[in-house]
Amino acid sequence: MKKVLVMNGLAGEFKRRIADAAGPAYQVVFAEDNWDRNTYLDALKDAAVILGEPEPKDLMHCEKLEFLQTTWAGVDHYIATGLFYENRILCNGSGGYGIAIAEYMVGTILALCHYLPVYQKMQKEGGWDRHRYHKTLEGSTVLILGAGDIGTEFAKRLAPFRCRRVGMRRTGNVCPEEFDEMITPDQLDSRLPQADVVACCLPNTPLTQGLFPTERLLMMKKDAIFVNVGRGTLVSCEDLAEVMESGHLWGAVIDVTVPEPLPGDHPLRRLDNVILTPHVSGYCVDPNSPTKRRLSEIMVSNFEKYVQGKPLANMVDCNTGYRKR
């Protein structure tokens, strides 16, 4: 009998669906908070299916693993192990975080447009002065790099602001209704100087690592806003800080960095026009939250499909780092 290891806390209805889908062919084991490491490693060793997020370094103990369904959208840490080969299946949680991260992006961009971090600091220090002119999203061009779940949900939420939404994806031959235009990566350099906001929603892949060197940051408008909610490997925080300290860019929103966390004395921490958060843009996973329920549904429905031999959602191509289409 094959074993299924469930590592995520789930509501009762989702646990029941896993048990029903498993039937007599699978034994379902729910991880407990009080497990010691040996118990945990033994469970990994015996599991043919894992629903959740084992430490990537512990995958070497997964001798019988056939299928890993994670709720993480970014799975580059798993791919980097080199342990997903031949018939081992890796599926991510794409589709679960888009709404939460899109709300974060809209909120932080508006905060920078209206200097809210500056005014909050002024509030604490007893100041009372207008800080330059403000700007609005209305009439702006927003370049969204990555038109998957996160980028598309972000584009949806920009519609009321009457801005132009330009998406970028590897194959730009289809433009979803949420966007006004779709481009491909080879057009990036020609479009950067036109963008008022550049929002990066890209995974960590060989094609996205170092995508924004100093030269590309300087291609952007002097008063543009740079946002990164994808992966920290996209841009060097040292390069970004140097560019911003020179007076280039209106501001930046950074939720992902290399390393995480940034050193306490990093220059990005000192800039009033930077909103720096500790990889929390999608951290809306209270057990009763819509985000948590979406992630649970993705996980459980994919397990049901796996047992039934149906095509799976969110299968990851470990050669490219993107979902298989």
Residues 157-171: tens digit of each pLDDT: 999 999 999 999 988
Q: Name the residue among 157, 166, 161, 243 with its Cα closest to residue 198.
A: 166
For strands 47-51 and 67-69, give the pairing.
parallel
Lowest mean pLDDT among 20-24, 54-58, 169-173, 285-289: 169-173
Q: What are the CA-CA distances from residue 196 to residues 58, 214, 250, 265, 282 (Å)?
A: 43, 18, 9, 29, 24
In degrees rounded to 5, what are phi and psi of residue 276? Answer: -115, 120
Domain containing 76: what range?
2-96+286-308
Predicted pLDDT at 112:
98
Residues 146 and 213 in one domain: yes
Percent of the chain with pLDDT strictly greater than 90 = 86
Average pLDDT over residues 188-217: 96
Residues 71-119: tens digit of each pLDDT: 998 898 899 898 887 789 999 999 999 999 999 999 999 999 999 999 9
Residues 254-308: tens digit of each pLDDT: 999 999 999 999 999 999 999 999 999 999 988 889 999 999 999 999 999 999 9
Q: In this predicted model, which residue has the larger pLDDT, 175 or 173?
A: 175
Position 102 in a domain: yes
DSSP, collapsed to helix, strand or coil, labels residue 303 as helix
Q: Which parts of 114-225 fold into alpha helices (H)?
A: 116-125, 149-158, 188-191, 214-219
DSSP, collapsed to helix, strand or coil, labels residue 226 as strand
Predicted pLDDT at 321:
74
Predicted pLDDT at 325:
62
Residues 38 and 6 in one domain: yes
Residues 57 and 181 in one domain: no
Q: Are 4 and 47 in contact (CB under 8 A)?
A: yes
DSSP, collapsed to helix, strand or coil, labels residue 69 as strand
pLDDT > 70? residue 229: yes
Strand order in 67-69's β-sheet?
26-30, 2-6, 47-51, 67-69, 89-91
Residues 119 and 165 in one domain: yes
Residues 129 and 253 in one domain: yes
Residues 300-324: tens digit of each pLDDT: 999 999 999 999 999 998 877 777 7
Lowest mean pLDDT among 6-10, 66-70, 176-180: 6-10
pTM over 0.95: no
Q: What is the dihedral of CA 136, 142, 147, 152, to 10 degrees?
A: 20
Position 316 in a domain: no
Position 207 in a domain: yes
- What domain count does the chain have? 2
Residues 121 and 266 in one domain: yes
Residues 76 and 221 in one domain: no
Indicate the residue type of 145: L
Structure tokens belonging to residue 295: 């992630």
d(CA 87, CA 308): 17
Q: In this predicted model, which residue has the larger pLDDT, 233 or 286?
A: 233
Position 220 in a domain: yes
CATH code: domain of residue 163: 3.40.50.720
Q: Name the residue among 115, 139, 140, 119 with its Cα closest to residue 128.
A: 119
Position 88 in a domain: yes
Position 103 in a domain: yes
Structure tokens belonging to residue 107: 């909120």
Average pLDDT over residues 118-123: 94
Contacting residues for 53 by C-beta, under 8 A, at least 6 apart: 7, 8, 70, 71, 72
Residues 105 and 130 in one domain: yes
DSSP, collapsed to helix, strand or coil, labels residue 89 as strand
